Chains A and B, each alone.
Chain A
Amino acid sequence: MGVGKVVLVTGAARQLGSRFVRRIQHDPEVERVVAVDAVPPEHDLGGAEFVRTDIRQPMIAKVLAQHSVDTVVHLDVTGSTPLGAGGRTQVKETNVIGTMQLLGACQKAPTVRRLVVKSTTSVYGSAPRDPAVFRETTPVKSLPSGGFAKDAVEVEGYVRGFARRRPDVAVAVLRFANILGPDADTPLAEFFALPVLPTVFGYDPRLQFVHQDDVLAVLVLAALEARRGTLNSGTFNIAGDGVLLLSQTARRLGKPTVPVLLPAVTWIGQLLRTAGVTDFAPEQIRLLTHGRVVDTTEMRDTLGFEPAYTTAETFHDFALGHGPGLLPPARLAAAVDRLAAAVGTDTDTGVRR
């Protein structure tokens, strides 16, 4: 046995991947970190060894063997378009074919002991027939029909197959709620960056967020040995406490909303995508129609992870970085206060001055 762990991280050129690489190499349990991506990293990877390879190619098996990797952290399952051009088709290929190739390589690598896969809560879909709160075991009524959500469903399917064939490998699948933070580059962050937020008329979806720092923390937790009394293999929902409605997020961000009739939303989404403003995929529209909330009991009790940020705090942190929009909440509050002063009352105490 070697002294420490050798961790291989896929998708290391991206924001999340590079942050994770920098974070994990400081852990005393970890001896070496091998960072893998098809494109050169834009961010600093610290002392990690970068291997430029496409996980869709069989080369990845050689990398695993050469470095006697024992922990694989698969972060190259993503919803946003890749750094280089290529569009949706390439993302889908990396997500699905890349995962298949990587899992095939892991299966043949006897040194691999642990596998962590980044997934998403969008595997639950969003439908009016679904329960309001999804548990890890909730049977899904309407499987996502396309996009990243469908990729994630397929990826999870392959991971389950792998776990059956290699029962000696501890497998953790982390289903993340919408990741936000000061510099998260998720499609939802792009949506919130729009000056005016299009919403679906007559729907006020419930949203849940997880902070980018919590994402890193839980990935580290899953990649290392389980702490006493916890189990870090299995499937876990990862989300901050609490819920925000879309209308609340818009007001906290100080952005006006434009309700659009559901049939027109798809059309506007396409328009925005064509214009390159944001990747307003059909699954995003479904999320912004019906919302999605997951239960995080397993995350707390089994995985033993307590997120540092609640959903509201995560959004607050995101809003700080993205500045107030056209209707700053502070100014609106001041306007109401002025009105109250004119009437001669105090909004804080509700008592006449």
Chain B
Amino acid sequence: MADAKVIPFDEDSRGRRGAGRARARTRKAAAPAAGKAADGPQPPLAAVPAAGIPAQADGGRPADPPPTAEAPSDLAGAFGAVADRVLGGDWERKVASGLAFLRRRVTGDYEVDEFGYDAELTDQVLMSLLRPVFGAYFRVEVRGIENIPAEGGALVVSNHSGTLPLDGLMTQVAVHDHHPAGRHLRLLAADLVFMLPLVNELARKLGHTLACTEDAEVLLQRGEVVGVMPEGFKGLGKPFADRYKLQRFGRGGFVATALKTKVPIVPCSVVGAEEIYPMLGNSRTMARLLGVPYFPLTPTFPWLGAAGLVPLPTKWVIQFGEPIPTDGYPPEAAEDPMLVFNLTDQVRETIQHTLYELLVQRRSVFF
């Protein structure tokens, strides 16, 4: 990530002018993102995607609260032309709040909810780590974020792809950073996530929980935005040849839960994640040995070892569709298999159609 951080400052203007795109991967990665995040004509505003950098350079843990506290565009506007001077003042604030954060962490004086969601750690550290991947690397374009209600429960149903579940994390950043009400997406994850050391710890702290009706119901009743990928491993680990072909949507458990809790279903289509690790083959023997659902063979993995784990820098679009209301159905609707199947199909079709539309519009996989 180190080089991607420094680039946006001068790269922004170049990207804006430049029809002649440089071939270098890092440049390609940085330029459009900087342009997008600044969301305005003033070049100095390109400081925004780089906002995470001073804090990280500043010895790790203390992260930068300003980008999380305000929407990126507000921040950009506030900085304006006096970016230089303000940056000096902001540094002090960052250090102070970073130290205050450190103080709470070393004394254990913070709170987590019963799912283990550590809001403070997520906002101040984990999101800052994911943000460069979101903004500079995959240059995610978020559309239709207003389809997630500003308050109350909602179930975001998304396609799943990419061999490793980066799409879930990126969707989480999209909701966190782009939703005007600053909502937080609570993802439902496979049990494998909660078996792996470190992964389970991070997942819980990011607010993820096990994909089961009990947990989903509790979260939705509490008015949280819950994200689910009904395709599960079937979607995540599908061969490259089947990209953007939605797999079976489980047994429609998510629809039954939405009906029971009367929350709207927001279909979500992610384009770009399919190509990050093109899965050309699957080594069943290795998968069985490691106890995982599949063992991907991509052009780079496992041949290049750890370097093969670097995803391809594809250009992503995350589109949230029109919410499908569920509060008009009678209370017993959740027990009606026909209705549940119909709604499941409706959600699935919506996502599939949106995927096709986005693919038609897409100029290239990488930009």
Chain A interface residues (CB < 8 Å from chain B): 128-133, 135, 138, 200-204, 206, 242-245, 247-252, 262, 290-291, 293, 295, 312, 329-330, 332-333, 336-337, 339-340, 343-352
Tell me if B96 and A345 are in contact (CB < 8 A). yes
B79 to chain A, nearest CB (A): 18
A-contact 0/1 string along B83-110, CB 8 Å cutoff = 0000000001101110110110111111
State in angstroms the CA–CA spacing of A340 and B102 once bound together. Answer: 11
24 contacts between A and B (CB under 8 A): A128-B210, A130-B210, A132-B114, A132-B215, A133-B115, A201-B198, A202-B199, A202-B200, A203-B201, A204-B205, A206-B112, A206-B204, A243-B113, A243-B114, A249-B108, A250-B108, A252-B109, A262-B197, A291-B116, A330-B107, A345-B92, A346-B96, A347-B100, A350-B93
In the bound complex, residues from chain B placing their C-beta under 8 Å from that of A337 are 103
Tell me if B108 and A248 are in contact (CB < 8 A). yes
State in angstroms the CA–CA spacing of A138 and B214 once bound together. Answer: 8
Q: Is B218 an interface residue (CB 8 A)?
A: yes
Q: Apart from A133-B218, A201-B197, A252-B107, what 7 extra A-B contacts exist at CB < 8 Å?
A: A129-B210, A132-B116, A132-B209, A245-B112, A332-B106, A340-B103, A343-B95
Tell me if A350 and B201 are in contact (CB < 8 A). no
In the bound complex, residues from chain B placing their C-beta under 8 Å from that of A247 are 108
Tell me if B210 and A339 are in contact (CB < 8 A). no
Q: Is B194 an interface residue (CB 8 A)?
A: yes
Tell me if B194 and A348 are in contact (CB < 8 A). no
Q: Is B345 an interface residue (CB 8 A)?
A: no
State in angstroms the CA–CA spacing of A67 and B107 once bound together. Answer: 53
A249 to chain B, nearest CB (A): 7
Q: Is B191 an interface residue (CB 8 A)?
A: yes
B66 to chain A, nearest CB (A): 11
State in angstroms the CA–CA spacing of A339 and B103 once bound together. Answer: 10
In the bound complex, residues from chain A placing their C-beta under 8 Å from that of B197 are 200-203, 262
Interface hub of A131, A332, A340, A349 (most chain B Cβ within 10 A): A131
Tell me if A251 and B115 are in contact (CB < 8 A). no
Tell me if A203 and B200 are in contact (CB < 8 A). yes
In the bound complex, residues from chain A placing their C-beta under 8 Å from that of B78 are none
For the complex, count residues of B whose C-beta is within 8 A of A.
Answer: 39
Residue of A nearest to B216 (CB): A131
Q: Is B336 an interface residue (CB 8 A)?
A: no
In the complex, which of the residues B106, B199, B204 contacts A251, with contact meaning CB atoms closer than 8 Å?
A: B106
State in angstroms the CA–CA spacing of A244 and B195 once bound together. Answer: 20
Tell me if A206 and B116 are in contact (CB < 8 A). yes
Tell me if A350 and B97 are in contact (CB < 8 A). yes
Known: A251-B108, A332-B106, A336-B103. A351 touches B115 (CB 8 A): no
B76 to chain A, nearest CB (A): 22
Interface hub of B106, B198, B199 (most chain A Cβ within 10 A): B106
Tell me if B191 and A351 are in contact (CB < 8 A). no
In the bound complex, residues from chain B placing their C-beta under 8 Å from that of A291 are 116
In the bound complex, residues from chain B placing their C-beta under 8 Å from that of A343 are 95-96, 99
In the bound complex, residues from chain B placing their C-beta under 8 Å from that of A204 are 116, 201, 204-205
In the bound complex, residues from chain A placing their C-beta under 8 Å from that of B92 are 344-345, 352
Interface hub of B105, B114, B201, B212 (most chain A Cβ within 10 A): B114
A49 to chain B, nearest CB (A): 43
State in angstroms the CA–CA spacing of A34 and B151 once bound together. Answer: 56
In the complex, which of the residues B106, B114, B191, B199 contacts A129, with contact meaning CB atoms closer than 8 Å?
A: B191
Tell me if B214 and A245 are in contact (CB < 8 A). no
Residue of B nearest to A137 (CB): B214
Tell me if B100 and A350 are in contact (CB < 8 A). yes
Known: A133-B115, A336-B106, A350-B96. A128 touches B198 (CB 8 A): no
